Amino acid sequence: MPPDNTPLTRDRILAAAADVIRRFGPAKATVVDVARALGVSHAAVYRHVATKAELRDLVVGRWVETIMPPLRTIVAEPGPAAKRLRQLFDAMIAVKRRRATDDPELFAAYRTLAVDAQSVVVAHVDELVELTASVIRSGVEEGTFRTADPVSAARAVLVATSRFHHPAHAADWADPALDAAYADVWQLLMDGLRSSSESG
Amino acid sequence: MPPDNTPLTRDRILAAAADVIRRFGPAKATVVDVARALGVSHAAVYRHVATKAELRDLVVGRWVETIMPPLRTIVAEPGPAAKRLRQLFDAMIAVKRRRATDDPELFAAYRTLAVDAQSVVVAHVDELVELTASVIRSGVEEGTFRTADPVSAARAVLVATSRFHHPAHAADWADPALDAAYADVWQLLMDGLRSSSESG
């Protein structure tokens, strides 16, 4: 790519990094390769992104952030908690499956990068727990759920649905039996939330 | 290994195959390599195991079978269903974690083979479902659990605990937060079994 006159910003660097990863794989998420793609010097990129690790974390953060706005909207909207909880998980599972199915190589590339971007992944999971806990809390307020600890319950629902959204299971997401398994797991989890022993 | 006078049996072939896999990796689970290790002709092995696929399936079957006897014992013994269900899952999770921790390469080798041995894996999961369903059924009889469909509930409990026993998550089993997550998931699942909406 020839140099152009657009000022170099962190956003342009991350867009270029995403393009490089798409075309050449996760090993190319380096300052050198991104600078080459932008037609600028390494030094110019380093002024915005100090290290390879920082570039990797920003790239993974950008990738996981793109799935969040619709999930935040579901949580912010009014409506019965059980219904919104299901919508939240349906939407999260659908977007992850779509990504894994539409472009398995790109999905695998980001998964490889994410293994080393643990602080970004932890922050992402923490937000998913917080969104889930927020819906469970409103279910407790409306009298649908009885859990005494919405955050622990939220973590449990996320972990218990790993088969349907954790990238480690992406290879199984085409299994036609998966929807029935999801229905069974969901039923059991909702029964659990509706009648938690924690609050008696 | 020089030829000896012990008669060639399927058991000896599978023991030799396990040894070859342990020393040289999953790609060496072939009739040629196993015959060489036994110091016999390919033809001699082929009289007992007809194809490479059959050898692979027998090898994976032998590997998964070794974890089963203690699990069958737990299910066959008397006692409160909730306690036996927890014992069943604790034992299954412990043996898988031990294997993955003690010899990660061997664990990965068998996982690679298992990907292609789907009928063996399905039969293994079906037995785990049946053992779990058997305990849930006895819990319904004793009045502890209220699920109307013990087999669906058993599948749900197995899928919902994937993070703790599915080989796809082996890399995370050293995470110190895992035991707390298991406790939270287990609590929610037991709450669900105790109060299933399916039977009202």
Task: Spell out the residues 6+ positions from residue A118 whose beta carbon is closer than 8 angstroms to its own.
Answer: none
The pLDDT assigned to B7 comes to: 86
| A33 pLDDT above the threshold of 60 | yes
For residue A200, what pLDDT band results from cuts at 50, 70 and 90? very low
Single-letter residue type at A168: A
Helix, strand, coil shares of chain B, percent, nearest 5, are 80, 0, 20
Q: Pick the residue of A129, A185, A195 with the most B CBs within 10 A to test the interface with B by mutation.
A: A185
List chain B residues with CB under 8 Å of A163. 159-160, 162, 166
Give pLDDT tens digits for B99-120: 999 988 889 999 999 999 999 9
Q: Pick the residue of A149, A159, A194, A199 with the most B CBs within 10 A to test the interface with B by mutation.
A: A159
Tell me if chain A has a CB within 8 Å of the CB of B112: no
Q: Average pLDDT of chain A?
A: 92
| A197 pLDDT above the threshold of 80 | no
Q: Which residue of A has its CA nearest to B146?
A: A191
Q: What is the mean pLDDT of residues A141-151?
A: 94
Q: What is the mean pLDDT of residues B71-87?
A: 97
Give pLDDT tens digits for A83-103: 999 999 999 999 999 999 998
For residue B4, what pLDDT band results from cuts at 50, 70 and 90? low
The pLDDT assigned to A199 comes to: 41
List chain A residues with CB under 8 Å of B198. 187
For residue B199, what pLDDT band results from cuts at 50, 70 and 90? very low
Give CA–CA dist B104/B130, Å, rounded.
28
Q: Pick the residue of A188, A190, A193, A198 with the most B CBs within 10 A to test the interface with B by mutation.
A: A188
Give pLDDT tens digits for A151-170: 999 999 999 999 999 999 99
**B39 Ramachandran zone, left/alpha/beta (phi>0; psi -120 to 50):** left
Q: Average pLDDT of chain B?
A: 92
Give CA–CA dist A176/A192, Å, rounded.
26
| Better pLDDT: B17 or B4 | B17
Give CA–CA dist A40/A4, Å, rounded.
9
ipTM summary value: 0.90
DSSP state letters, A110-173: HHHHHHH-HHHHHHHHHHHHHHHHHHHHHHHHTTS---S-HHHHHHHHHHHTHHHH-GGGGGGT
Q: How far is B36 from chain A (nearest CA, A)?
A: 35
| A113 pLDDT above the threshold of 70 | yes
Name all domains of chain A by residue range, CATH numbers in brackets.
Answer: 10-58 (1.10.10.60), 67-199 (1.10.357.10)
A197 by Cβ neighbours in 10 Å (0-12 / 13-18 / 19+) ranks as: middle
Q: How far is B119 from chain A (nearest CA, A)?
A: 14
DSSP state letters, B70-121: HHHHHHHS-S-HHHHHHHHHHHHHHHHHHHHHH-HHHHHHHHHHHHH-HHHH
Q: What is the mean pLDDT of residues A124-134?
A: 97
Contact check, Cβ <8 Å, B191/A187: no
Assigned token pair, B133: 């369903």
Tell me if chain B has a CB within 8 Å of the CB of A188: yes
The pLDDT assigned to B197 comes to: 62
Report the 10 Å Cβ neighbour count for A69.
Answer: 8
The pLDDT assigned to A142 comes to: 95
Please tell me what DSSP assigns to residue B5. Answer: S
Q: Which residue of A has its CA nearest to B115?
A: A171
E runs forming strands in A47-127: none
- E strand or H helix that includes residue A4: none
| A135 pLDDT above the threshold of 90 | yes
Q: How many A×B Cβ pairs under 8 Å?
A: 97
Residue A103 in contact with residue A128, Cβ under 8 Å? no
Positive or negative, the CA dihedral B63, B69, B75, B76 is positive
Task: Spell out the residues 6+ positions from residue B165 whose beta carbon is closer than 8 angstroms to its own.
Answer: B89, B92, B93, B96
Contact check, Cβ <8 Å, A191/B187: no
Q: What is the mean pLDDT of residues B166-183?
A: 93
Which of A155, A168, A188 is nearest residue B184 as measured by Cβ atoms?
A155
Give pLDDT tens digits for A59-86: 999 999 999 999 999 999 999 999 999 9
For chain B positions 167-186, those within 8 Å of chain A (CB to CB) are: 168-169, 181, 184-185
The pLDDT assigned to A196 comes to: 63
| B9 pLDDT above the threshold of 90 | yes
Give CA–CA dist B44/A93, Å, rounded.
51
Assigned token pair, B190: 């037991």
List chain B residues with CB under 8 Å of A196. 187-188, 191
| B200 pLDDT above the threshold of 50 | no
Contact check, Cβ <8 Å, B198/A181: no
| A4 pLDDT above the threshold of 90 | no
Greatest extent of chain A over all pairs of C-alpha atoms, in Å: 67
For residue A3, what pLDDT band results from cuts at 50, 70 and 90? low
